[in-house]
Structure 1
Amino acid sequence: MNTGKLMTMPLFALAIAAFAIGTAEFVVMGLLPEIASDMAISIPASGHLVSGYALGVVIGGPVIGIALRAMREKTALLALMLMFVVGNAGCLLAPGFGWLMLARVFTAFSHASFIGTAAVLASRLAPPGKEAQAMVLMLSGMTLANVLGVPLGSLLGQLQGWRATFLAVMLLGLLAAALIAGFVPAGRASPSAPAGHGSDLRRPVIWLGLATSVMASASMFAFFTYIVPVLLQVTHVEAKVATAALFVCGVGITIGGLLGGRLADWNLPRALTLTLPCLIAVLVAFYWASASLYPALACMVLWGGLSFAVGMMLQALIIKVAGNAAAYASTLNIGAFNLGNAIGAWLGGRVLEMGWAFNAITLLAAALAAVTLAMVVAVLRTARRAPRSLLV
């Protein structure tokens, strides 16, 4: 029987797991200086941990999804959380950077399949008419990871060493596994890629939309990956202040995620074409604002809100233009965002390795956001020329 009361603990268990996964993905960005120092490598080189994880999500999603397709959802979720725990244990014990990278990629293999399976299960567990609310509640764990998990994990790593952060994330994964085992029902066989809708997936507008998500995410992570080094090297704040700044940025990210959903419901094409120019302006402004703490913080909050609002709207856009293949296209979009994560982190590292100043990262992010805007316009025009309306 689906009642709000009965579904509280299963959704809470899934949200805790999403919180752990989100923290594991993003907390490394707050630990790059510590990891670089301990491993005797450069900060740009340590930034490859972000790219490696993102590529692991892109590759691991379809591979692991196929491997677990015959399992019931609860069994699959427990297997994926076990992978997550083992991967973080590998990060904790890694003797060198190569082993740390391998452990990060292994951890990432569980990411897309877990989030995709959990979202489907959360929707099915909800009372009638509250399916979307249940999915948002589950995914709120990923959002809270940016507000709480990343700054607290960064602070722990600065005080006790970066390995302590991976220990904490591993224990959080064990807690999530115990909650899933205790409260989540068995469910059905894990969802796999639909065999039908092949003609829908062949539409150019879908793949243009996915490419747009890649570019938007590349813009975000070109900046987000190196935000702590920028604060340390350009703004000249202490590590603890940089951690507090991550928390403030996380608040903007949370607000932006909620705002993006409302804007998408209001007028998706207009919202995207208005929000992206604002994002570009904030990134350019940060180039100069980064010299002082409070102007930098203001730009970080605006940037976080605008970036995540754009991400939410692009997710809504891909669903709208995908027609009958909306569910699978939405899953592909998770991979697209993570591919963008990898590209953005790599491009940011290349800019720094070329000898550019740390705050030049923001100009790179602004340029990528400008390309995103041009691609959004192309997607909207293509969708409007389609034989049947795709933006309804």
Structure 2
Amino acid sequence: MPSGLVALALGGFGIGLTEFLIAGLLPQVASSFAVSEAAAGWLISGYALSVAVGAIALTAATARLPRKPVLVGLVALFVLGNLLSAIAPNYPVMLLGRIVAALCHGSFFGIGSLVARSLVAPQKKSQAVAVMFAGLTVANVLGVPFGALVGERWGWRAAFWAVTAIGVLALAGIAALVPAWAGRVHPATGTEPVPGGPAATAGGPDPVPPGGLRAQVRAFRSWQVWLTLAATALSYGGMFGAFSYIAYTFTEVSGFASADVAWLLMVYGVGLVVGNLVGGRAADRDRDRALVLALLALTLTLALFGLLAGSATASVVLVFVMGVTGFASVPGMITRVTDFAHGAALAASANVSASNVGNALGAWLGGLAITAGLGYTSPLYVGAGIALLSTVVMVIAARRARSAHVADRVPTP
């Protein structure tokens, strides 16, 4: 495994950690700054909104810059944001720190995925993206318990100091281990030339200046890009429509105690890690088939979970499978959108924004179902319905791509 991928995974771990750990620290932070629970909740929702905005804005702003320095700058922004949170004298500064840290999130994973795939042979590009996202999935497992443990023992500020230190290590690792040629793009088209890494010469491809914003925007002329973004948003919407209220399902339907929710969420997180790695390998074999099967499996898992949520044993098994099927499509979706966008970083970052839009949509619809009196299993059925829509969109995208491929191979008379 290229050492540059390890550095990218460490960056993903730090960014994922700062996203998730705040959930276990909210009571302490609210008490420290004497703000309401609702105000403290903006440290989560404000972060999510900033991710969606920053993914597009920063990628567009850095379109003409080489990708390795951009990644270093993004991680530096992440370090600054967490440092502000660690030393924040009041709530507004704390919120500012969260916003600053969030701005780098989408661009890091968007641009980082292009750099990651350039470090390996073309037939392993989805696996390379999965390695980078492994940091994020591990953070999902450890984030909340890490924040709660460190916060309980040393205070909430210590948790942000720890994340700041991880960010510094990731910054140093990316600066030292990611080659300068990684993720280079063609100056006129803004697309990847020939994938680097093992396929390149000893020193990597010849240095090529990056493409501009106009070339990046041209990538969105492709219907395949839009279909993939739609499938991404709907797949995340399906998973998070169910996951946002899973604690209520566990305690009010499955019969678990509130104290059990933490380890149940870790079971889900382990499923994310497994799904990410399995999905990356499957996508490198037959990407569209793997994506359709993963989305269909997510649909069936959520529907079955809704039916069997009353069983504690079934709930443990199904929350793990939900994690596996929910994240199995992520590496393939990213390589698919960047392939059809010819390596445009803006499309890769738009994929991250689409996932956050899906998160918000799923959580909103799941909440509406509960408010309507449909019970605490209703978000699972809502999630299944959204995931089914994602499956349909992916089937349409796969068929259009296959038809276009066959047409290209038919000789003209």
TM range (shorter): 0.7 to 0.9
Deviation at 1:179? 3.8
Q: Does 1:364 align with 2:360?
A: no
Cα root mean square deviation, aligned: 4.0
Q: Distance in 2 between matches of 1:381 and 1:125?
A: 30
Partner amino acid, structure 2, of 1:377 = V
* Contact 1:61–1:112 (CA under 8 A) maintained in structure 2: yes
Partner amino acid, structure 1, of 2:389 = V
Q: Does 1:374 align with 2:368?
A: no
Partner amino acid, structure 1, of 2:105 = H
Deviation at 1:292? 4.5
* Contact 1:47–1:349 (CA under 8 A) maintained in structure 2: no
* TM-score, normalised with respect to structure 2: 0.74
1:56 alignment counterpart = 50
Partner amino acid, structure 1, of 2:142 = L
Q: Distance in 1 between matches of 2:342 and 2:179?
A: 29
1:41 alignment counterpart = 37
Q: Does 1:83 align with 2:102?
A: no
Q: Could you tell me which of 170, 187, 193 is aligned with 1:176?
A: 170
Deviation at 1:102? 4.7
Partner amino acid, structure 1, of 2:333 = L
Q: Could you tell me which of 245, 257, 277 is aligned with 2:264?
A: 245
Distance 1:210 1:135, change over 3 A: closer
1:207 alignment counterpart = 226
Q: Distance in 1 between matches of 2:42 and 2:240?
A: 12
Distance 1:189 1:157, change over 3 A: farther
Deviation at 1:204? 2.7
1:342 alignment counterpart = 360
Distance 1:251 1:230, change over 3 A: same
Partner amino acid, structure 1, of 2:171 = A
Deviation at 1:79? 2.8
2:107 alignment counterpart = 113
Deviates more, 1:209-218 or 1:100-109: 100-109
Q: Deviations over 1:84-118 (max 9, x none)?
A: 1232344453845x765554333211112223344
Q: Distance in 2 between matches of 1:226 and 1:292?
A: 17
Q: How does 1:309-324 map to 2 (within 5 A)?
A: 309-319=328-338, 322=340, 324=342
Deviation at 1:58? 2.4
Distance 1:268 1:74, change over 3 A: closer
Deviation at 1:261? 2.7
Partner amino acid, structure 2, of 1:105 = I
% same residue: 35
Q: Alignment partner of 1:250: what SS?
A: helix
Q: Distance in 2 between matches of 1:357 and 1:48?
A: 26
Q: Distance in 2 between matches of 1:329 and 1:144?
A: 25
Q: Alignment partner of 2:321: what SS?
A: helix
* Contact 2:240–2:362 (CA under 8 A) maintained in structure 1: yes
Distance 1:146 1:361, change over 3 A: same
Q: Does 1:13 align with 2:7?
A: yes
Q: Distance in 1 between matches of 2:121 and 2:288?
A: 31
Deviation at 1:212? 1.7
* TM-score, normalised with respect to structure 1: 0.77
Aligned residues: 381
* Contact 2:127–2:277 (CA under 8 A) maintained in structure 1: no
2:193 alignment counterpart = none
